[in-house]
Each structure stands twice: as C-alpha cells, then as structure tokens.
Amino acid sequence: MEQQIRTVVVGYGYAGRNFHSYLIGLEPRLELAGIVARRPEVAQRIADERGCPVIPSLDAALADDSVQLVVVATPNSTHADLACAAMEAGKHVVTDKVMCLSLADCDRMIATAERCGVMLSVFQNRRCDGDYQTVRTLMDSGELGDVRWLELAWQGLRPWGGWRGQAAMGGGRYLDLGAHLVDQLLLLFPETIQSVYGRMDWAYPEFDVESDAHLTVAFEGGRTGIVDVSSMCALSKPRWLVKGTLGTYAKYGLDPQEGAMNAGDIDSAVVDPAQDGKISDGQGERVVPTLRGRWRDYYANIAAVLLDGAAPLVKHHELRRQIAVLEAGRLSAQSGEAVTLKL
C-alpha cells in the first residue's frame, strides 16, 4: 500500500467541512485521521459525513505521534497561534487563508516552521482556478502584448454572518476573498512593489467589517494592479480585466468548482460557456475558452512535498508579500495615504 500522511483537520465549519476534509479525502496519499471538534452535534455530523474519528482538542491531536499534518480551518484570527503550536509539536501545517492578520504573525509563523524543520503552507486553492490559469496562459503567450494593468474583482451584497462578519475574528471579504485576489495579482506581476493605496467603506452599521475594499498596487516599471472586493454590489464587475499593449481580456463569473464541491462532486464542475472571457484587439473580439481548474492539485502537491521532496506550490516569500500588501492596504485606508513597500 502506498504511504499515506496521517492528517488532522482542526475545525468543521464551512472551510473544514466543505473544503479541507472533502479534498483531503480525495487525495490517496493523505489519510484523514480525524477532525478536531468539541460540540456533540458537530461530532455527530462528522461521523455521518466523513466517517473519521472526532478528536476533542488540538492538544489531543498534537499528542498523537502518528499525526504528521495538521490543517487549521478555524477563524482567521486563530491561525497564527494554532499553527505555531502545531509546528512546535513537530507537525507539518496547512492553514486556511488568510494565513494570518499581520505581517508580524506571518514572520512568526515562517520563523517557527524554519526553526522546527516542518512544512508550512496556506490553502491558496485559487491558484488552481481555471480563470487564473487562463489569464496566466494568455499573458505567457504574448497575445495581449505587454500587460500593464490588471483588475481583479469579487462582488456580493451584504456582509456574511457568523465570525466572518466580525472584524476581531478576521472577518470580512477583504481578508477572505481579497487574500485570493492579492495572491493571484502578485503571482502575475512579480516585479517589486512600490506602493499600496487602499480605500474602505463601512456602509452597514450592524456589521463592523468593511462593506467595500479597493486596493491599488503600483509596481516598479509602471505596472498597476487593482483589487476590488465588495459586499455592496449586486451587479458584478468583470472578475478579470487584463489590459495589454495588443489587446484586452475581460471575463465575468466565478470558477465552478466550489458549487460542484458543495454538491458533493467537484469533478463534475464544468465552466459555463456563457461565462467564457473575450479578447479584443480593437478591431474585433474572440471568445477564449476557460481552462478547467483543479483544486485537487493543492493537496496533491502537499503529499508530493512531504513524500517526494517536491517543490511547494505555495512558498513562504509569496505569503509574506501577500500579507504585507493586505496589511499596507488597511494602513493606507486608515491614513488616507499610500504606503510605500519594497517587496
């Protein structure tokens, strides 16, 4: 039998249930050895839905020498402390995004991983989205010319409830969806960052998370990236607007994997042709079929890192750059001034 990495998921909310425990169960070289949950009703759901042991606490999971990988799928504000505790116990760690709430915590987590000699990764599954892969392919092909301007947007109406509607817990779309969009932007524009300018609004008095967040990231050499996340927009902007010297690409709609996964079969995800993007060169336009995404690749890479010594899909310096931009955007929104970065 092929070697398996015994894996424990901490938390069984939306991320722990619908993303992590589900995707781990699809990767043959990972074994879902248990899920940490305290409430009896949650324990029953785990038994019914995942059929794996329920572990009463993180301490109990860390005390089990057979557990090799811990996946932290808890509120964003808890990621840093839980991840560091697991790494101190000699466990490899995956945290859900956003990695943490501050650059100081990011540095603490990376330093702990390096000191303890363990893997630390963050679930940036949207690197495996079909639309991101399509944009990457178009940029690499040269069809758009020199891409100078990228706009990435994710819209909705009204903030979420639960802990995702609480700023102290790291809630809000900025740290949730914004973490994905900033990650994608920085991978597509690897040049040194010059500055970050942020604007935020709080339109709903019953929530203390932002209703809108807008970032402008300036890069050395003149490239510009825009990230726009909103809980106050019922009519969406293009998910992608890519402007180059030879053409422009625009695409609406989201990768279909989440809907298929929530329905219990991620492999059934099919891109709606009506949501394929288009390229225009000013003379005419053509439809660009969207590549098919594959979130399975994230945990396949985790298994390959731990069992084969493969290169990690998500690297520490990329995470640090992302968290620095997210932090700078918050500081800029507070001060009204752009924040200088050299990363």
> Is residue 56 domain-shared with residue 173, that is, in the same domain?
no
CA distances from 112 to 100, 277, 303 (A): 14, 42, 21
Residues 91 and 55 reside in one and the same domain = yes
Residue 299: its pLDDT value, please? Answer: 98
Q: What is the pLDDT of residue 33?
A: 97
- Show the domain range for 135: 126-294+324-340
* Whole-number Å distance between alpha carbons of 37 and 28: 24
Query: What is the per-residue pLDDT across 171-198, written as a single tens digit (0 to 9) for each?
Result: 999 999 999 999 999 999 999 999 999 9
Task: Name the token pair of 26.
Answer: 């699809």
> What SS3 state is found at 319?
helix
**CATH number for position 266:** 3.30.360.10
Rounded to whole angstroms, the Cα distance separating 95 from 120 reads: 8
Q: Is residue 216 part of a domain?
A: yes
Q: Looking at residue 331, what DSSP letter applies?
A: H
Tens of pLDDT along 106-117? 999 999 999 999
Q: How do residues 89-135 score in pLDDT, each as one tens digit?
A: 999 999 999 999 999 999 999 999 999 999 999 999 999 999 999 99
pLDDT single digits (tens) 47-76 = 899 999 999 999 999 999 999 999 999 999
Same domain, 263 and 138: yes
Q: What pLDDT, on a 0 to 100 scale, did the predictor assign at position 186?
A: 98
Give CA torsion, residues 37, 40, 46, 48, to 10 deg. 170
Q: For residue 248, how far is the Cα from the chain centroid?
A: 26
In this structure, of 37-41, 216-220, 319-323, the range with the lowest mean pLDDT score is: 37-41
Asked if residue 252 is part of any domain, the answer here is yes
Residue 68 lies in a domain: yes
Residue 57 placed within a domain: yes
DSSP summary character for residue 329: H
Residues 114 and 130 in one domain: no
Q: What is the DSSP string of 70-101?
A: EEE-S-GGGHHHHHHHHHHTT-EEEEPSS--S
pLDDT tens per residue across span 142-178: 999 999 999 999 999 999 889 999 999 999 999 999 9
* Spatial separation of the C-alpha atoms in residues 162 and 209, rounded to whole Å: 12
Q: Both 35 and 145 in a single domain? A: no
Higher pLDDT, 246 or 160: 246
| DSSP secondary structure of 212-279 | EEEEEEEETTS-EEEEEEESB-SSPPPSEEEEESS-EEEE-S--THHHHHHTT-GGG----GGG-EEE
Q: Give which of 24, 19, 26, 28 is closest to 7, Cα–Cα.
A: 24
On the question of pLDDT at 1 being above 80, the answer is no
What is the enclosing helix (H) or strand (E) of 298? helix 296-308
Specify whether 222 is located in the same domain as 84: no
What is the pTM assigned to this prediction? Answer: 0.96
- Got the DSSP string for 103-159? HHHHHHHHHHHHHHT--EEE--GGGG-HHHHHHHHHHHHTTT-SEEEEEEEEE-BS-
**Is 319 a domain residue?**
no
Q: How confident is the model at residue 269 (pLDDT cuts 50, 70, 90)?
A: very high
* pLDDT score, position 39: 85
Q: Which two tokens stand for residue 189?
A: 């524009």
Spatial distance between the Cα atoms of 127 and 150, rounded to a whole number of angstroms: 16
The mean pLDDT value of the chain amounts to 96
Which of 74, 93, 123 terminates a domain? The answer is 123
Domain boundary (70, 104, 123) is at: 123
CA 257-176-161 angle, 5° bins:
95
- Among 71, 96, 123, residue at a domain's last position: 123
Contact (CB, 8 A) for 101 and 172: no
| 236 band by pLDDT with thresholds 50, 70 and 90 | confident
Which pLDDT does position 38 carry in this prediction? Answer: 85
Pair 67, 131 in one domain: no
CA distances from 278 to 240, 251, 273, 302 (A): 10, 7, 11, 34
Same domain, 74 and 182: no
Residues 132 and 258 in one domain: yes
Q: Say yes or no: 70 and 140 in one domain.
A: no
pLDDT 10s digits, 13-34:
999 999 999 999 999 999 999 9
For a pLDDT cut of 70, what percent of the chain falls above it? 100
Report the domain count for the chain. Answer: 2
- 143 lies in the same domain as 255: yes
275 & 222 share domain: yes
